[in-house]
Chain A
């Protein structure tokens, strides 16, 4: 039963913290986005305007936004598809090793992100591990271009977000009562049918969480596409980064950033509401 009143106290610490250390700083940047930069690169706020936002709605940026969305979507789908079976396996066959197996999933991610990405470069490059193996077996004579492609970007991003998908899905599957599936089987459901109609829907909160934790940060990931992608793989996050740094144009960069935030936020909320209503009935 949902307990009234107490709810406010429970969420208060988080709300207060985020209000002070997230919303307030964001307000600062919002103010900056209404300003402009002067000759010396300093922010000038005496003539606030929406110019930066007008400039941001430049159709030239659209391909980068599309790229970001495309990669984020592919990464999320791939992470879910790859991650769900693993989460299921850990939950059902892990036994007393469950915790260990889970932590093993996380372990690679306690090394440096940059090193891992460089390692992928070593694996995927023209004279790298994969191409070397293919040549050794005799499958190819010329190297296949794997690095600096859409493939390498999605691969790298999926790799980076896999634990973010596996963990929430696992947490959701694990709490399911085995008896529910047993009951379905007793009622003559096939294994597959039991899975599709019992396990999968009941693990939906986990899937939703996994999607959120993957898709949203993936849109803002600029390092992976930058290092593993090529000339054709620029994303909106990189554009924003460049504006802030190379262009030293904090006002314009901020405006672009806010537009990205707004677009992603609205899209996510709409998707969430629809999914919740249709499937979970929350």
Chain B
């Protein structure tokens, strides 16, 4: 096997060549696979319809799959049948995906494995930072993963992820207009958006009865010992900075100091800094806390009394992306997987399972209407426009935040 870590940009062509010249004995397999793939391509619309229709979580999705009039459905159901400049190379036999447990729709991988003769290995991490620490220069053997958008600039600069071959990603047309050229990755050269979220405040309507609208409610001494903030310095400082009227991505250290002072005032009232917001709010220990909007979906499944608002001062939004690592041994399968994720129905299935909105405009008809209507998961455009996108900060600035964060946590 040639060394995939030479950082070459023509991963796909190389991989294809490598694949074809590798072992004489697999030529027969290759032909068989192409044949199988061809058959699958012909059957793909039916297979995809059956797969997503049968396994789909939201019953309202079943009806649309049978309607041939939906152009987006037809296009997404047979991605390899749409005209592409080069014939689609056959994928490798395996794909290694690195992700949180359950951070993917229940039927996304089964439907992918039905469509293509690829065995997907789903490897797990619990902490995106731990995952990053393991990845090294080229992803350490993982093919696909889902880093946060703020990390894309440095990953692409370091050559850890490869530029994507758009010819293998026709479903990218499904993206909403605001996602076609995001700030963290112009033109989506190195990544495709996966899901996005907002950060706001969740509160128990039974304990916090006055329907707050400002993030200052998190400083309300009435809720002492029942307030929480996210265990994430960008989020915590972001909230404080925005409350003070500054940008969440500020590089100004005086502004950071002001935010730190504000957070220090809050600390004696806090129950905990925790990113396990579902746990703390469902258990009732926390009555009001900083939470990610999409967590509300899961919280409400256990406790319907929890409501959510985006502070009137403003808030932040972020997103996760899907990328292919430069050391990936199965780049073709990886591209097909990414394309699969961009499929309207697959994207909808994701959203319906994990409760995060995807960037996929074409997916909207297939998403559970309850989720679409939920202002926490899917705020309307007016509110979205007010939100600041979390950015990748230069190392020196990062350290300024982290030092203050640790001083905040350490201080008595």
| Structural contact, A64 and B410, CB atoms closer than 8 A | yes
A246 at the interface (CB under 8 A from B): yes
Give the A-B contact count at a CB cut-off of 8 A: 87
Given A60-B411, A63-B410, A234-B409: A244 and B133 interface contact (C-beta under 8 Å): yes
| Contacting pair B406 A239 (CB below 8 A) | yes
| CB pair B284 A125 closer than 8 Å | yes
CA distance A39 to B157 in the complex (A): 10
B contact patch SS: helix
Q: Whole-angstrom distance from the CB of B5 to the nearest CB of chain A? A: 15
A38 pairs with B395, CB closer than 8 A = yes
A153 to B284, CA, bound (A): 19
A147 CA / B157 CA spacing, docked (Å): 44
A1 within 8 Å of B (CB atoms): no
Contact among A39, A64, A126 with B283 in the assembled complex (CB-CB below 8 Å): A126
Interface residues of A in 218-236 (CB under 8 A from B): 229-232, 234
Identify the stretch in B17-25, B54-62, B264-272 within 8 Å (CB) of chain A at 4 or more residues: B264-272
Min CB distance A57 to B, Å, is: 14
Q: Do A42 and B283 touch (CB < 8 A)?
A: no
A38–B399 CA distance with the chains assembled, in angstroms: 12
Bound Cα distance A196, B406 (Å): 46
B399 touches A247 (CB 8 A): yes
| Cβ contact of A126, chosen from B130, B267, B284, cutoff 8 A | B284
Residue from A40, A63, A145, A230 in contact with B270 in the complex, judged by beta carbons closer than 8 Å: A230
CA distance A148 to B409 in the complex (A): 14
Whole-angstrom distance between the alpha carbons of A147 and B410 in the complex?
19
Cβ contact within 8 Å between A126 and B285: yes
**Are A246's CB and B233's CB within 8 A?**
yes
Q: Is the CB of A230 within 8 A of B411?
A: no
Q: How far is the CB of A248 from chain B (nearest CB, A)?
A: 7
Question: Is B283 touching A127 in the complex (CB atoms < 8 A)?
Answer: yes
Residues of B within 8 A of A248 (CB): 129, 132-133
* Any B CB within 8 A of the CB of A41: yes
Could you tell me if B283 and A249 are in contact, using CB atoms closer than 8 angstroms? no
Interface centre among A63, A64, A147, A247 (most CB of B within 10 A): A247
Among A61, A127, A147, A232, the residue within 8 A (CB) of B406 is A61
Q: Which of the residues B225, B284, B399, B410 comes within 8 Å of A60, measured between beta carbons?
A: B410
Majority secondary structure, A binding face:
loop
Q: A60-B406, A231-B267, A247-B398 are in contact. Are A40 and B157 (CB under 8 A)?
A: yes
* Closest partner residue, chain A, to B234 (CB atom): A246
Say yes or no: is B127 at the interface (Cβ < 8 Å to chain A): yes
The answer, yes or no, to whether B83 is at the interface (CB within 8 Å) is no
**CB–CB B273/A231 < 8 A:** yes
Query: How distant is A52 from chain B, measured CB to nearest CB, in Å?
Result: 12
Are B402 and A247 in contact (CB-based, < 8 A)? yes
Q: Residues of A contacting B285 with CB < 8 Å?
A: 125-127, 147-148
Tell me the smallest distance from the CB of A55 to a CB of chain B, in Å: 9
* Contact pattern, A 49-71, Cβ under 8 Å of B = 1, otherwise 0: 00000000000111110000000
Q: Is A242 an interface residue (CB 8 A)?
A: yes
Q: A41-B395, A63-B410 are in contact. Are A231 and B132 (CB under 8 A)?
A: no
B411:A231 contact, CB within 8 angstroms: no
The distance in angstroms between the C-alpha atoms of A54 and B132, with both chains bound, is 27
A37 touches B395 (CB 8 A): yes
Cα–Cα distance between A149 and B83 once the two chains are bound (Å): 62
Q: Which one of A42, A62, A125, A243 contacts B402 once the chains associate, using CB atoms below 8 Å?
A: A243
Task: Give Cα A249–Cα B409 distance, bound, in whole angstroms.
Answer: 18
Set of chain A residues within 8 Å of B411, measured between Cβ atoms: 60, 63
Indicate whether A78 reaches chain B with its CB closer than 8 angstroms: no
A121 is an interface residue with CB less than 8 A from chain B: yes
Chain A residues 104 to 148 lying within 8 A of chain B, measured CB to CB, are 121-122, 125-128, 145, 147-148
- From B130, B270, B394, B410, A61 is in contact (CB under 8 Å) with B410
B407 at the interface (CB under 8 A from A): yes
Asked whether any CB of chain A lies closer than 8 Å to the CB of B279, the reply is yes
**B275 CB, nearest partner CB in chain A, Å:** 10
Q: Note all chain A residues with C-beta closer than 8 A to B386.
A: none
Q: Which residue of B lies closest to A122 (CB)?
A: B283
Select A40's contact among B158, B283, B402, B409, beta carbons within 8 Å: B158
Which of A122, A148, A246 has the largest count of B CB atoms less than 10 A from its CB?
Answer: A246
Residues 237-278 of B, flagged 1 when their CB comes within 8 A of A and 0 if not, give: 000000000000000000000000000000100111100000
Smallest CB separation, B393 vs chain A (Å)? 11
| A15 sits at the interface (CB 8 A) | no
> A234's closest neighbor in chain B, by CB?
B409
Smallest CB gap from B155: residue in A? A40
Given A39-B154, A42-B158, A231-B270, A242 and B283 contact (CB-CB distance below 8 Å): no
What is the minimal beta-carbon distance from B134 to any residue of chain A, in angstroms? 11
Smallest CB-CB A-B distances: 9 pairs: A245-B129, A231-B270, A234-B409, A60-B407, A40-B158, A230-B272, A64-B410, A247-B402, A127-B284
Q: Could you name 29 residue pairs across A and B whose Cβ atoms are closer than 8 Å? A: A37-B395, A39-B394, A60-B406, A61-B410, A63-B411, A64-B409, A121-B283, A127-B285, A230-B270, A230-B271, A230-B272, A231-B271, A231-B272, A234-B409, A234-B410, A238-B409, A239-B406, A242-B405, A242-B406, A243-B406, A244-B133, A245-B129, A245-B130, A245-B132, A246-B129, A247-B402, A248-B132, A249-B399, A249-B402
A125-B284, A230-B272 given; name 4 further pairs at CB < 8 Å: A41-B154, A121-B279, A145-B225, A239-B406
